[in-house]
Chains A and B, each alone.
Chain A
Amino acid sequence: MASAIFFLDLKGKTLLARNYRGDIPMSAVEKFPVLLSEAEEESSAVPPCFSHEGINYLYIRHNNLYLLALTKRNTNAAGILLFLHKVVEVFTEYFKALEEESIRDNFVVIYELLDEMMDFGYPQTTESKILQEYITQESHKLEIQARPPIAVTNAVSWRSEGIRYRKNEVFLDVVESLNLLVSANGNVLRSEILGAIKMKCYLSGMPELRLGLNDKVMFETTGRSTRGKAIEMEDVKFHQCVRLSRFENDRTISFIPPDGEFELMSYRLNTQVKPLIWVECLVESHSGSRIEYMLKARAQFKRRSTANNVEIIVPVPDDADSPRFRTNVGSVHYAPEQSAIVWKIKQFGGNKEFLMRAELGLPSVRGDDEHGGGMTGGFGGSMGGIGGKGAKRPIQVKFEIPYFTTSGIQVRYLKITEPKLQYPSLPWVRYITQSGDIAVRLPDVA
Chain B
Amino acid sequence: MAVNRIRGAFAAPRKGETFELRAGLVSQYAYERKESIQKTIMAMTLGKDVSALFPDVLKNIATADLDQKKLVYLYLMNYAKTHPDLCILAVNTFVQDSEDPNPLVRALAIRTMGCIRVDKMVDYMEEPLRKTLRDESPYVRKTAAICVAKLFDLNPAMCIENGFIETLQEMIGDPNPMVVANSVQALAEISETAPETRALLVTPAVLKKLLMAMNECTEWGRITILTVLADYVALDVKESEHICERVIPQFQHVNPSVVLAAVKVVFIHMKSINPELVRSYLKKMAPPLVTLVASQPEVQYVALRNIDLLLQAKPDILSKELRVFFCKYNDPPYVKMQKLEIMVRIANEKNYEQLLSELKEYALEVDMDFVRRAIKAIGQVAIKIEDASAKCVQALEDLLATKVNYVVQEVVVVIKDILRKYPGYEGVIPSLCNYIDELDEANARGSLIWIVGEYAEKISNAEEILEGFVDTFSEEFTQTQLQILTAVVKLFLKKPSGAQSLVQKVLQEATTNSDNPDIRDRAYVYWRLLSGDLEVAKNIVLSHKPTILTTMTSLPATLLEQLLSELSTLASVYHKPPEAFVGKGRFGADEIQRAAIQEQRQNAAENPIAASVAAAAANGSSSVSQSNIENLLDIDFDGAAPASQEQSSAAGTPDRMASPATGGMADMMSMFDAPSASGAPAAAPAGGMNDLMNGFEGLNFGAANGSQPLPAGMQLHGGGSEPKKDSDDLLGLL
Contact = CB atoms under 8 A, between A and B. Distances in A.
Contact of B252 (A45, A58, A127, A236): A236
A386 B368 contact: yes
A84 B227 CA distance: 20
A49 interface: yes
B16 to A, nearest CB: 22
Contact of A60 (B104, B217, B298): B298
Contact of A108 (B41, B138, B139): B41
Interface string A29-49: 000000100110011111111
Interface stretch (B6-14, B90-98, B326-334, B478-486): B326-334
A328 B504 CA distance: 77
Interface stretch (B165-173, B615-623, B655-663, B696-704): B615-623
B286 to A, nearest CB: 9
A76 B572 CA distance: 9
Contacts of B406: 383, 386
A394 interface: yes
Contacts of A140: 65-67
Chain B interface size, under 10 / 10 to 19 / 20 to 34 / 35 or more: 35 or more
A45 to B, nearest CB: 4
Nearest to B70: A112
B370 A441 contact: no
Interface in A48-84: 48-54, 56, 58-60, 71-79, 81-84
Given A72-B582, A77-B569, A53 B296 contact: no
A123 B220 CA distance: 6
Nearest to B289: A235
Nearest to B623: A53
Contacts of B302: 49, 77-78, 81
Interface stretch (B488-496, B516-524, B593-601): B593-601
Interface stretch (B233-241, B469-477, B625-633, B723-731): B625-633
Given A76-B569, A153-B179, A235-B290, A45 B334 contact: yes
A284 interface: no
Contacts of B105: 145
A76 B597 contact: no
A274 interface: no
A82 B257 CA distance: 7
Contact of A54 (B328, B622, B629): B622
Interface in A379-407: 379, 383-394
B358 A189 contact: yes
Nearest to A248: B249
Contacts of A268: 287, 290-291, 294
Given A44-B367, A56-B581, A50 B252 contact: no
A58 B328 CA distance: 23
Given A152-B139, A190-B324, A393-B329, A120 B150 contact: yes
Interface in A123-176: 123-127, 134, 139-140, 142, 145-148, 152-155, 157
Interface stretch (B397-405, B410-418, B419-427, B541-549): B397-405
A413 interface: no
A433 to B, nearest CB: 18
A119 B301 CA distance: 26
Contacts of B594: 23
Contacts of B609: none
A39 B67 contact: no
B104 A82 contact: no
B178 interface: yes
A378 B354 CA distance: 29
Nearest to A243: B215
B17 interface: no
A14 B370 CA distance: 32
A219 interface: no
A142 B65 CA distance: 6
Nearest to B177: A155
Contacts of A376: 366
Contacts of A189: 323, 326, 354, 358
Nearest to B254: A237
Given A78-B256, A245-B215, A378-B366, A56 B329 contact: no
A25 B594 CA distance: 9
A134 B369 CA distance: 49
Contact of A234 (B67, B290, B354): B290
Contacts of A311: none
A37 to B, nearest CB: 11
Interface in B337-394: 337, 354, 357-358, 361, 364-370
Contacts of A73: 582
A377 interface: yes
B47 interface: yes
Contact of B369 (A43, A119, A146): A43
B597 A25 contact: yes
Given A72-B582, A122-B220, A50 B368 contact: no
A8 B290 CA distance: 32
A21 B189 CA distance: 13
A111 interface: yes
Nearest to B364: A389
A244 B623 contact: no
A59 B153 CA distance: 26
B253 A50 contact: no
Nearest to B297: A48
Most buried by B among A142, A148, A379: A148
A238 interface: yes
Contact of A119 (B143, B179, B402, B629): B143
Contacts of A391: 329, 365-367
A147 B102 contact: yes
A314 B681 CA distance: 37
Contacts of B255: 82, 240
A148 B107 contact: yes
B45 interface: yes
B85 interface: no
Most buried by A among B250, B253, B302, B370: B302
A71 to B, nearest CB: 8
Nearest to B630: A42
B571 interface: yes
B364 A49 contact: no
A25 B215 contact: no
Contact of B368 (A48, A194, A383, A441): A383
A38 to B, nearest CB: 6
Nearest to A437: B328
B404 A52 contact: no
Contacts of A47: 301, 334, 573, 633
Contacts of A439: 328-329
Given A60-B296, A77-B573, A394-B329, A44 B368 contact: yes
A328 B406 CA distance: 45
30 contacts: A27-B601, A39-B629, A49-B302, A49-B573, A51-B581, A51-B625, A54-B583, A59-B298, A60-B296, A76-B227, A79-B568, A82-B257, A111-B70, A112-B70, A122-B220, A139-B65, A140-B66, A140-B67, A145-B64, A147-B103, A148-B139, A153-B176, A153-B179, A155-B217, A190-B323, A190-B324, A235-B252, A240-B255, A247-B252, A385-B403
Interface of B: 38, 41-42, 45, 47, 64-67, 70-71, 74, 77-78, 102-105, 107, 111, 114-115, 117, 137-139, 142-143, 146-147, 149-150, 153, 176-179, 182, 185, 189, 215-220, 223-224, 227, 246, 248-250, 252-257, 260-261, 287-288, 290-291, 294, 296-299, 301-303, 306, 323-324, 326, 328-329, 332-334, 336-337, 354, 357-358, 361, 364-370, 402-406, 566, 568-574, 578, 581-583, 590, 593-594, 596-598, 600-601, 615, 619, 622-623, 625, 627-630, 632-633, 651
Given A119-B146, A155-B217, 15 more contacts: A14-B47, A16-B45, A45-B370, A56-B581, A81-B298, A108-B41, A122-B220, A147-B103, A148-B139, A155-B177, A244-B215, A244-B252, A266-B254, A379-B366, A391-B367
Which 6 A-B pairs have CB atoms at the shortest separation, nearest pair first?
A377-B366, A235-B287, A244-B249, A45-B333, A74-B578, A48-B298
